[in-house]
C-alpha cells in the first residue's frame, strides 16, 4: 500500500515533468555537486621527499636567476665598453657596473572584493589570490605577469682619455642617459 502511493506519486510527477524541468533539475544537481567538491586551498602536504625536491628546484631556480643577472650585467658592461672605445678621444675603456637588486618577478593576483553593510557602516574587503599556471613538467607555478630587470645603481669607467675634462664629462653624461643614474653614481678615472 505504501509502495503504491509512492509509485502513483512518482508517475504523476513524471507526467507533469517536461524537458525544460528535467534540464533545470540536471543542472541544479551538477551545481550542488560542484559546490560540495572539496576545495584545494593550494597548500599541499607532501612527503618529505617531495618537499626536498621542491627545495632543490627552488635552489636551482635561484642559481639560474643569479646567473642571469651576472650575464645581464656582463652584457651591459661589454656593450658600453665597445661603444665608448669608438668615441673620439676616449681610447681603451674598462667598465664595471653595480646592480642594485636582482631580477624581480611580479606574479599575477586575482582580486576578490566582498562587501557588507550595516546600518550606518559599509565595509569592503579585498582579498588577493595568486594565479597559477602549469609548467612543462605538469607542476603548478605562479603566473608571472611582469619581470623587472635589475637596476643599475653605479658605474665605474676607466678610460685612457679620461685625463681630459671634456671626455670625462661626455662619458658621465652618456652613462647617466643610458642607465638613468645620477652623476654622483658615475665615476670616470684615467686608465694607466
Instruction: Name the grid cell of 162.
Output: 679620461
Identify the pLDDT of residue 7.
76
Segment 128-131 long-range contacts (CB within 8 Å, at least 24 positions apart): 130/42, 131/107
> Measured between alpha carbons, how far is 68 from 145 in angstroms, rounded to an integer?
19
CATH number for region 53-103+150-192:
3.30.300.30
Count other C-beta atoms under 10 Å from residue 89's C-beta.
Answer: 14
Q: Over its length of 192 residues, how does the chain's per-residue pLDDT go in tens digits?
A: 567 777 777 777 667 767 777 777 778 778 787 777 765 544 444 445 444 444 444 444 455 556 777 888 899 999 999 999 999 899 999 999 998 766 667 777 777 666 667 667 777 777 777 777 788 888 877 777 777 777 888 999 999 999 999 999 999 999 999 988 999 999 999 988
Instruction: Name the grid cell of 109.
Output: 593576483
Identify the pLDDT of residue 106.
73
Segments of the chain assigned to CATH 3.30.300.30: 53-103+150-192
Amino acid at each position: 500500500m505504501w509502495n503504491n502511493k509512492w509509485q502513483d506519486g512518482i508517475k504523476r510527477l513524471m507526467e507533469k515533468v517536461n524537458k525544460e524541468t528535467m534540464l533545470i533539475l540536471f543542472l541544479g544537481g551538477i551545481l550542488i555537486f560542484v559546490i560540495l567538491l572539496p576545495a584545494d586551498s593550494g597548500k599541499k602536504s607532501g612527503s618529505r621527499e617531495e618537499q626536498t625536491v621542491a627545495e632543490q628546484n627552488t635552489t636551482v631556480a635561484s642559481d639560474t636567476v643569479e646567473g642571469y643577472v651576472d650575464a645581464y650585467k656582463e652584457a651591459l658592461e661589454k656593450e658600453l665598453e665597445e661603444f665608448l672605445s669608438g668615441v673620439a678621444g676616449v681610447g681603451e675603456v674598462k667598465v664595471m657596473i653595480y646592480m642594485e637588486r636582482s631580477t624581480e618577478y611580479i606574479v599575477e593576483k586575482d582580486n576578490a572584493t566582498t562587501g557588507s553593510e550595516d546600518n550606518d557602516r559599509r565595509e569592503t574587503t579585498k582579498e588577493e589570490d595568486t594565479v597559477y599556471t602549469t609548467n612543462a613538467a605538469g607542476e603548478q607555478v605562479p603566473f608571472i605577469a611582469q619581470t623587472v630587470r635589475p637596476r643599475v645603481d653605479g658605474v665605474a669607467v676607466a678610460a685612457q682619455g679620461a685625463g681630459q675634462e671634456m671626455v670625462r664629462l661626455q662619458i658621465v653624461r652618456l652613462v647617466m642617459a643610458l642607465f638613468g643614474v645620477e652623476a654622483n653614481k658615475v665615476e670616470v678615472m684615467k686608465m694607466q
